[in-house]
Structure 1
């Protein structure tokens, strides 16, 4: 079918571009984010664990218990120190990036620090326009909406989008874009964006050459 031919042609083009990029640019390894728990922290934690085992083996003698408590105090002090230093560095780095005009890196750092927890809220409106927030009310509204669709009363609003069968021109065909439109669309692709499932970034599409636009067309 035509859709299968288009999909196969796209996969072939994608593979050619990605293979060429890997051959010329190479592959970039993921950069592990820094963490405050380093080798020194691991060492002091291991010493505390060893002291705990000795305390168990010696039936909690006074000396063994005191040795374990001291090891645990050292661990807590070091961990607090490392965590404090790490947090301080996390605050200094965005300030440095901002002052050195590395705006993109600054916002990446800022977004990373804000992604720890982001509550997601889902809302919709009832027929009178009142906002519904509870899961039960939202579910009931969608049931009501789809029942009205099935009954032929499709002139409704769902999440702010008006659906009206009487106003739609479903027989109108969209014009096929010209090669100039395709070239302009490629130029307008934004850089520094994460690739999708095909692993194709905007930069790869842009710098694949003029023949790429013809293949996409």
Structure 2
């Protein structure tokens, strides 16, 4: 029934018809197509599945201004039938070459906007406005303030006349979903029509509804057993990189080896635990409390007064101390002291060459007042870690560090000194 070359949708008998309407769907959107209905050479419809609403996109090519009225009425009657056949909850969009010059007449608003390229609507433009008004549509392409070169959609064969005859209509309930419509006259599409781009704010459905597999949680409860904790510590000591290996490794490589050793040893010695099943704890009492909280917040917002800049506290340093410990209160002196402070800690060392030019060596300034922590300090802080806390991005609970033994303390001390 159809030809799908490079994800295109077109009837086989219309492959060589220059007026045939088709859709070209790219990327992952192909897997979201849930329906395609070819009507004739001038009208076709494509349905795309969305997360909240599906989208029915009707592509239409209306007769030009000089065609007989019967032919125009026939096409617009078919367009109305196709539009009415769309599911009621769908976001309905009509696009294509409608050969309709829509003006800026006030009597047609709000169906049309004030920024159309033309001042007066022609016969096709009036038919476009009539069908839009009867079906609750809005000519969205006439609402955006653009330069004329970004409004025109077709250039005549004499290369002098430009018209805006390609239209984008959308259901008025979803007026704000289209946030931009403009043409790109420089796009090489081998046509006398310009490329019309429509930017939409929408949410499409998920292509694959597969849940991400969760990382297994280490059974840290096993560490309460002294024998298991001792076995874990011994296995981890054998798995951790030696001091010689760490000395020859970079910070990233060394930490990767340490992290891998902790994770693999923990799974081998302690095993994993199943995730807890969720309980239906949100009962009527919880619902009542939430409603009371929302009511109290609404009351607070109702009586809240708007704060001005003069009423807010400004975070600014009004005083500080110099290197000798003297208190500085002058604003210029305070700013200069902060500049000196950050120059010392962030901008590195600087030297002055023979010509008097200051050269920044880029080296980090060493502050002897804050030496790197020793082994005992690292061990003390590890012992102070709390149990039953959520693990970080490395998926290493604090219990695995606390029961890792002296070898793990030395490895973590190497990491901290390396960073310091």
Q: TM-score scaled by structure 1?
A: 0.41
Q: Which of the pair has more CA radius of gyration?
A: 2
Tell me which of the two structures has the higher relative contact order, counting C-alpha pairs closer than 8 angstroms and 6 or more residues apart. 1
Q: Which has the higher strand share?
A: 2
TM-score w.r.t. the length of structure 2 is 0.23
The structure whose residues are more often helix, as a share, is: 1
